[in-house]
Amino acid sequence: MTQKYTPITWRSALLLVASLLLASPVFADHPGENLNQVMAAKEAAFEPILPGDAPDLAWIGAAHESTSLNALRGKIVVLSFVPEGCGDPCEAQQATLTETLTALNSSAMRDMVVFVTLSDEPQSGPATQNRIFARTPDPEKLSHPNAALAGVSERKDLTPQVHLLNRAGQQVGIFHGADFEPLNLLLYINVLTNTHPHAEPSFWQRMTGWFL
């Protein structure tokens, strides 16, 4: 699927401004543990889910290199699928993701987030350091994890989904279809980049903890 050029619109300009503001102290007060509830109230296309480990996925990139989802641990992953025959719904969703990514890459978040689009056919798209267009080795290796990730959803519609994974590789939220506001996805990603997994205590912390 060849990505279509998205012209600059007032919404794109607003996203660019928002992406710059998100890196400032003005936005230091994040909803934290209530992130999913806050986003569900703001965005009808968003579905909150309980965090759970995402299945590992392997894929072949444009340069025929092989890698996997586990290799991206430590980054926020925005994962979408373009199965054969999806057509217009997937094209519309990818256009919305492109708009979001363009704004995100104008902020400091660009080094913390990776957008991954997987298909069972060779993909092409605008090359950026944090957007991956790739194909799976065979159709089953696309459909099985796609079904597994979608299986946690309580919505029965057939629109394509965007799965958000935190730094620990856990699936934490789903954006449905293409009608969500890119700004809301950008805000959601921003909070995830500011949420750090709890680090394991050091040997010294464990030792001193015995005496507290």
Mean pLDDT, range 60-81, rounded to an integer? 87
Model pLDDT, residue 122: 64
Looking at CATH, the fold of the domain delimited by 42-192 is given as Glutaredoxin (3.40.30)
Model pLDDT, residue 197: 52
For residue 195, pLDDT beyond 80 = no
Q: Where are the beta strands (DSSP E) in the chain?
A: 46-53, 58-60, 66-68, 76-82, 113-119, 131-135, 161-165, 170-176
The domain limits of the chain are 42-192
Q: Residue 137 has what DSSP assignment?
A: S
Higher pLDDT, 199 or 135: 135
Q: Residue 177 has what DSSP assignment?
A: S
Mean pLDDT, range 102-106, rounded to an integer? 91
pLDDT band, very low/low/confident/very high, at 66 (cuts 50, 70, 90): confident
Distance between CA atoms of residues 29 and 165, nearest Å:
22
Mean pLDDT, range 143-152, rounded to an integer? 84
Convert the pLDDT of each residue in 159-177 to its tens digit. 999 999 999 999 999 999 9
Q: Could you tell me the pTM of the whole model?
A: 0.79
134 close to 140: Cβ distance less than 8 angstroms: no
List b or e across 71-87, with b for residues whose CB sees 16 or more CB atoms inside 10 angstroms: ebeebbbbbbbbeeebe
114 close to 49: Cβ distance less than 8 angstroms: no
For residue 45, pLDDT beyond 80 = yes
For residue 31, pLDDT beyond 60 = no
148 close to 110: Cβ distance less than 8 angstroms: no
For residue 198, pLDDT beyond 90 = no
Mean pLDDT, range 136-145, rounded to an integer? 71
Instruction: Tell me the pLDDT of the chain averaged across its residues.
Output: 79
For residue 90, pLDDT beyond 90 = yes
